Amino acid sequence: MSTGNVPNPVAEQSAPTVVAGHSSRDIRYWWVNHRQVHRQELEGELLWSPQNRQNRADDESSNNMMKVMPGDVVFSFADAAIRAVGLVLGRARETPNPFEFAAARKPAGAGQGWQVAVRFAELAHPFDPRSHLAELVPVLPAKRSPIRAGGDANRRVYLASVPRKMAATLRRLLGPEVDDLVEKIAQGANGQLPDDAEEAAIHLRTDIVPAEKVNLVKARHGQGVYRHNLELVEAACRITGLLDRRHLRATHIKPWCNSNDAEKLDGCNGLLLSPHLAHLFGRGYISFADSGDLLVSRHLNPAVLEKWGLRLPLHGDAFRPEQCRYLDYHRRNVFEHHAGGRRKPHDTDVDAVQEMEPRAPVTVYAE
């Protein structure tokens, strides 16, 4: 089995950033030219493109729908401006036309198509490309650009890939609001987005056989080969002492989405924890010292400790050296990072929020 992750097949389109726990190689940017169904797509949290391809541009948009991956970012263009950004939540699936009313339908005869789940957030101020043509025109794609040199939408293109330089320019012109909105959407996705993106990438790989893909995906859920390997190392919950394996979760120490193939299946990269403690560990509210002592984040509500009967100090058995390297990763990259590592260095502490000037309201659809 390969011991390393295979890069995203079109990762060269990415712009350097970190979104929802992904490294920069995982993030790609897309541009959607909404048509008659702009509001329906935003409120319905989706993109939809017909399968019947009337020209090469339509064919390219349909192909792009199949390339979109969870965690990718979408610039939403409608009425001559970028008015929202979206975060892709899942891969494309085949569906009938989701727009029921004739006035809001896609081109005539468009029955079956590809649908992608995308959650959008509107910008405080729409961005008009025509005001920044000197910076945008040099970085537009040579073929099938989503906008023309004059800044107007290319109506022959529905979904276009945004090259690295163009994405970097757009992010600079739009400012930090884009990253802030994407992060806000990610935080409302129940912490599953990094794992969803990694699982989707595994299914696309060609360097491993299907059975190996199954083993890696099962490991995400604490099942299969990984669970077997873990139970050779750990026999009980480190905190409650519960031995009944039916009620213990096999939890990766180094998060599954950040682990390479070997680490995903390594029994030393895991703990058997009671469900409520697996939740705290995965979100970075607790960790362990190599000596076995329980570490508690300063961000954890003390009421949680009281109601769940966690009395400190709590001393456990020392970990094996093979486990300690994973614990070191957890302490540095997950522990005391809100929601399992999604808190960014520039985030503001809660105590300082009241001193900030009020911002324009932000609309996040279906949060």
Decide: helix, strand or coil at residue 113.
strand
What confidence score (pLDDT) does residue 191 get?
A: 67
* Digit-coded pLDDT (tens) for 317-363: 999 999 999 999 999 999 998 643 333 433 333 232 233 333 344 44
Separation in Å, CA 27 to CA 5, 114, 196, 206, 302: 15, 21, 13, 20, 36
More confidently predicted of 13 and 54: 54
Give percent above pLDDT 70 in the chain. Answer: 79
Q: What is the mean pLDDT of residues 49-74?
A: 79
Residue showing tokens 């990438």: 201
pLDDT classification of 266: cutoffs 50, 70, 90: very high
What confidence score (pLDDT) does residue 285 get?
A: 95
Burial class (CB in 10 A: 0-12, 13-18, 19+), 295: middle
Please say if the pLDDT value at position 26 is more than 90: no
| 73-78 and 29-33 beta bridge pairing | parallel
Residues with Cβ within 8 Å of residue 184, at least 6 apart in sequence: 121, 362, 364
* Digit-coded pLDDT (tens) for 185-228: 887 776 677 888 888 888 878 899 999 999 999 999 999 999 99
Please say if the pLDDT value at position 3 is more than 50: no
Structural domains for the chain: 11-187 (3.10.590.10), 210-341 (no CATH)
Please say if the pLDDT value at position 24 is more than 60: no
More confidently predicted of 350 and 127: 127
More confidently predicted of 8 and 127: 127
Residues with Cβ within 8 Å of residue 84, at least 6 apart in sequence: 42, 76, 120, 121, 122, 123
pLDDT classification of 10: cutoffs 50, 70, 90: very low
pLDDT classification of 54: cutoffs 50, 70, 90: low
DSSP per-residue codes, 6-67:
PPPTTGGG--S---TT--GGG--EEEEE--TTHHHHHHHTEEEEESS--SHHHHHHHHHHHH
pLDDT classification of 58: cutoffs 50, 70, 90: low
More confidently predicted of 216 and 111: 216
Q: What is the mean pLDDT of residues 177-185?
A: 90
What confidence score (pLDDT) does residue 110 get?
A: 55
Please say if the pLDDT value at position 105 is more than 70: no
pTM exceeds 0.75: no
* Digit-coded pLDDT (tens) for 274-313: 999 999 999 999 999 999 999 999 999 999 999 998 888 8
What confidence score (pLDDT) does residue 198 get?
A: 86
What confidence score (pLDDT) does residue 27 get?
A: 81
pLDDT classification of 13: cutoffs 50, 70, 90: very low
Please say if the pLDDT value at position 5 is more than 90: no
pLDDT classification of 61: cutoffs 50, 70, 90: confident
What confidence score (pLDDT) does residue 311 get?
A: 85
What confidence score (pLDDT) does residue 55 get?
A: 52
